Structure 1
Amino acid sequence: MSFMSPTNGLRVLRNRNFACYLSARVLGTLAVQMQSVAIGWQVYQITGSLFDLGLIGLAQFAPFLVLILLAGHVADRYNRRTIIMLCLAVQLLCAFLLLAFTYSGSRVVWPVFAVLVLFGSARAFMMPATQAVLRNIVPIEQFSEAVALSSSAFHVAVIAGPILGGLLYLAGPSTVYLAAVTLLVLSVVLMGWTRAAPQAVNTEPATWHTVLEGLRFVWSRPIMLGAISLDLFAVLFGGATALLPAYARDVLQVGPTGLGFLRTAPGVGAAICSIALAFFPLQRRVGAWMFGGVAVFGLATLTLGLTDSFAVALAALLLLGAGDMVSVYVRHLLVQYETPDAIRGRVSAVNAVFIGASNELGEFESGITAGWFGLVRAIVFGGAATLAVTAIWMVKFPVLSKMDRFPHHDKPPL
């Protein structure tokens, strides 16, 4: 396996449009992550119901699952930058509504769930447009650097957002929502300043045939099908992070502070890895790197289940995040390089469905197996299953496991 010679991984930031896009994405992510902390604490303080905490996630995920394929079609038919800007504006409206709810002093939480349904709908339309627009913002020779920097910035925001939200919540939920409003205003403005190259516009009406075009395209490309389905089943079985609260208390015997470090570790590992990929982009044996990343993810999960040492568990979670980042990096580049611009939104939507399903179902699967087999055995089973999936997929998709270079090295950009 080899890397490209070290490059100035920050040179893509000289691209004004990419800098505006990246800044808008980071500020928007920070706002959403801060806001999510405030929503959870506020709802639980009002109702004291664990069931209501579960409804917070459901209220956001349900509209996402229903709308995501249609959102991919919209991303191919209309200007992607405009879609992102409008979705950020809807998220801004949601922050305003949450602020108004807080000032009202209401003790009924259904308005919060209604706002979250609106937020989940905006998220559904924003995700495929966000994944697809990057190819319209940066030139092909800077694309791998842009993907790595965008991923690293996203993970930094995911790490920092909850911490900032928790600190600001000490002054009350209204303070968090005011900060989110400010950041989202800046995010909308920066996205408005971003300019993207013209995209190939799909003019077909929204029918089942056109909406499902992305799914048919992925199914017809063994490389893409293998990459996306590998992530689905690997994360589905390896979703041990959902069990961290019980693992921290019952196995490692650490308190909330220790749990905070454990929850942060995968994001830190992913951020460090993505920064490294920005400076040392993968050039050769990219298929082997992808399978290697998933194998590291599985081995790290296995290690997590077999240790009762806090330091070893922390290191395992750092490696888990790094391995997952390598897989995500290769998969994202494959999807973007292999997909014609006219259907890139719909294919990105399919990718988003697989990612969302793996995360949500992975947490559910971990909870079910923990109930059946016990906490430690469930984590060990998840790691072993991930390694088994990696081995099976290497045999089932040899064109992917033996792939040397990304497609753009062998043919002109689509």
Structure 2
Amino acid sequence: MIRNASGWAALHSRDFRYFFTARFLSGLAMQIQNVGLGWLVYDRTHSALALGLVGLAAFLPALALALVTGHVADRFDRRRIISLCWALVALASLGLLLVALTPASPVWPIYALAVLVGSARSFANPATQALLPNLVAREDFASAVALNASAWQTSSIAGPAVGGVLYAFGAPVVFAAALASFLLSALLVALIRRGGHAGSRVKTTLESLLAGIVFIRARPVILGAISLDLFAVLLGGATALLPIYARDVLMVGPVGLGALRSAPAVGAVAMSVWLAAHPLQKRAGRTMFQAVGLFGLATVIFGLSTNLVLSLGSLVVLGACDMVSVYVRQTLVQAETPDSMRGRVAAVNSVFIGASNELGEFESGALAALIGAVPAVVVGGLGTMLVAALWARLFPPLLHRDRLVSDKPA
């Protein structure tokens, strides 16, 4: 049974503190870099489609490598995988720094570096998800998920704001700051002492490569949670269009763009801190569906708004609702998967996450190029609300799921 007093117990673990700090710093670096990348691309191309292509370039490696990345996370030291991946992302930051220092450079190197970032993250994400359950006691796991998410989301608040301010001093400053943070994250993960190895060395076969997909398909609750989050964020993701809103709709510039990108994380971190101290004890599935529906409504309000305060407020609500969905999905996936399979299951989960984020950015950018940014966001929000209603009928076990973490280990 989950102990109410265990909300902050995970922080008593030295390894979890290192992990927590690394998550914050890598998230900070990623958000700083995303602000600089989005503004740099749009400033050079003035194209919504170009913004979408950056998201597509980051997503395609995760899709292409999904079966391999999970298998790697289940065969090798997860700490070393994560550390190496963040070092590679730091290398990409160095490349973006060089591009920013060359105003006449073409856009294609940016897409190539986005592919490198996507490739590194496609290996880092399954290893990160698989490592976390081994750093805390089972009774503290649900709260550890929320604390872990709070580290990422807190960085998502600070990162865009810092990135927007740094961009005022020039794009090279943005990418230099990201480079330093990624390197420090790699060092902290390398200092974690335990939890790096999977429970067994898995022989590479077609069956073992597909094991994660088979596992998820056989569990409607997990499949429903992952796919609901996928389609909700895929349709309702407006973050790719924030540079357009900042420049052409709200007219608030790069500093305003940083505030807009931070707003969803403000809601998300507030919700994650609440969930860390007060893990969901009942009605978890129904709460998730309600949060996704409200996520869609907040997206519609943001899409129609021309007032900065209303736009920021709707993004805060959007972020809080998304945090509930992330919390439920991540807890279900990690708590109910055997350690020897966590890498492969996490890899499939990461593809869904990447599809909802990076592919969602491409979908939003492409749709905005066809019908305009405002209609694209509104249509996406309405689609999210429709998906929530449809999934409630398709996955009743998820809708009626009460407790997230069972007393019996996976």
Instruction: Tell me if both proteins adopt one fold, taking TM over 0.5 as the criterion.
Output: yes
Q: Which amino acid aligns with 2:200?
A: V
Contact 2:238 2:361 in 1 (8 A): yes
The CA RMSD measured in Å over matched residues stands at 3.1
How far apart, CA to CA, are the structure 2 residues paired with 1:178 and 1:308?
34
Return the index of the structure with the highest Cα Rg.
1
Contact 2:160 2:259 in 1 (8 A): no
How far apart, CA to CA, are the structure 1 residues paired with 2:261 and 2:272?
18
* Residue in 1 that maps onto 2:337: 339
How far apart, CA to CA, are the structure 2 residues paired with 1:371 and 1:109?
18
| C-alpha deviation, 1:221, in angstroms | 0.6
CA distances 1:154-178 after superposition (whole Å, capped 9, x unpaired): 0121232233234334444444444
The verdict on how the C-alpha distance between 1:365 and 1:75 changes in structure 2, with shifts beyond 3 A counting, is same
The verdict on how the C-alpha distance between 1:41 and 1:319 changes in structure 2, with shifts beyond 3 A counting, is closer
1:283 is paired with a residue of what secondary structure?
A: coil
Structure 2 residue 221 is the aligned partner of structure 1 residue 223: yes
| C-alpha deviation, 1:216, in angstroms | 1.3
Structural mapping, 1:92-111, within 5 Å: 92-99=90-97, 107=105, 111=109
How far apart, CA to CA, are the structure 2 residues paired with 1:390 and 1:63?
28
* Residue in 1 that maps onto 2:406: 408
How far apart, CA to CA, are the structure 2 residues paired with 1:334 and 1:160?
28
Equivalent of 1:25, from 23, 26, 31? 23
CA distances 1:297-347 after superposition (whole Å, capped 9, x unpaired): 122224335655543333222111111110110010000112111111111
* Residue in 2 that maps onto 1:190: 188
Contact 1:78 1:201 in 2 (8 A): no
| C-alpha deviation, 1:225, in angstroms | 0.9
How far apart, CA to CA, are the structure 2 residues paired with 1:372 and 1:101?
29
How far apart, CA to CA, are the structure 2 residues paired with 1:118 and 1:351?
20
Moved more, 90-99 or 218-227: 90-99
* Residue in 1 that maps onto 2:198: 199
The verdict on how the C-alpha distance between 1:194 and 1:323 changes in structure 2, with shifts beyond 3 A counting, is same
Contact 1:30 1:160 in 2 (8 A): yes
* Residue in 2 that maps onto 1:255: 252
Contact 2:50 2:365 in 1 (8 A): no
1:408 is paired with a residue of what secondary structure?
A: coil
- The gaps in structure 2 that reach 5 residues or longer are none
Q: Which amino acid aligns with 2:387?
A: V
1:7 is paired with a residue of what secondary structure?
A: helix
2:5 is paired with a residue of what secondary structure?
A: coil
| C-alpha deviation, 1:233, in angstroms | 1.8
How far apart, CA to CA, are the structure 1 residues paired with 2:102 and 2:362?
35
* Residue in 2 that maps onto 1:79: 77
- The gaps in structure 1 that reach 5 residues or longer are none
Contact 1:291 1:390 in 2 (8 A): yes
Q: Which amino acid aligns with 2:203?
A: E
How far apart, CA to CA, are the structure 2 residues paired with 1:307 and 1:108?
34
Structure 2 residue 317 is the aligned partner of structure 1 residue 319: yes
Structural mapping, 1:5-20, within 5 Å: 7=5, 9-20=7-18
Equivalent of 1:284, from 259, 282, 285? 282
* Residue in 2 that maps onto 1:179: 177
Equivalent of 1:132, from 130, 133, 145? 130
CA distances 1:141-163 after superposition (whole Å, capped 9, x unpaired): 22112111111110121232233
Structure 2 residue 112 is the aligned partner of structure 1 residue 119: no
How far apart, CA to CA, are the structure 1 residues paired with 2:239 and 2:182?
29
Contact 2:54 2:362 in 1 (8 A): no
Q: Which amino acid aligns with 1:141?
A: E
Contact 2:7 2:276 in 1 (8 A): yes
How far apart, CA to CA, are the structure 2 residues paired with 1:175 and 1:237?
33
Contact 1:202 1:343 in 2 (8 A): no
Contact 2:52 2:361 in 1 (8 A): no
Task: State the aligned residue count.
Answer: 407
How far apart, CA to CA, are the structure 1 residues paired with 2:105 and 2:366?
33
Contact 1:286 1:406 in 2 (8 A): yes
How far apart, CA to CA, are the structure 2 residues paired with 1:344 and 1:30?
26
2:221 is paired with a residue of what secondary structure?
A: helix
Contact 1:128 1:345 in 2 (8 A): yes
How far apart, CA to CA, are the structure 1 residues paired with 2:167 and 2:53?
21
How far apart, CA to CA, are the structure 1 residues paired with 2:98 and 2:79?
29
| C-alpha deviation, 1:288, in angstroms | 1.4
In percent, how many aligned pairs have the same letter?
50
1:88 is paired with a residue of what secondary structure?
A: helix
* Residue in 1 that maps onto 2:149: 151
| C-alpha deviation, 1:236, in angstroms | 2.5
Moved more, 67-76 or 180-189: 180-189
Moved more, 389-398 or 332-341: 389-398
Q: Which amino acid aligns with 1:221?
A: R
* Residue in 2 that maps onto 1:70: 68
1:126 is paired with a residue of what secondary structure?
A: helix
Q: Which amino acid aligns with 2:409?
A: P
Contact 1:293 1:326 in 2 (8 A): yes
Q: Which amino acid aligns with 1:344?
A: R
2:189 is paired with a residue of what secondary structure?
A: helix
The verdict on how the C-alpha distance between 1:376 and 1:224 changes in structure 2, with shifts beyond 3 A counting, is same
Moved more, 220-229 or 23-32: 23-32
How far apart, CA to CA, are the structure 2 residues paired with 1:103 and 1:310?
32
The verdict on how the C-alpha distance between 1:176 and 1:413 changes in structure 2, with shifts beyond 3 A counting, is same
The verdict on how the C-alpha distance between 1:243 and 1:49 changes in structure 2, with shifts beyond 3 A counting, is closer
CA distances 1:280-308 after superposition (whole Å, capped 9, x unpaired): 11111111111121122122224335655
Structure 2 residue 255 is the aligned partner of structure 1 residue 232: no
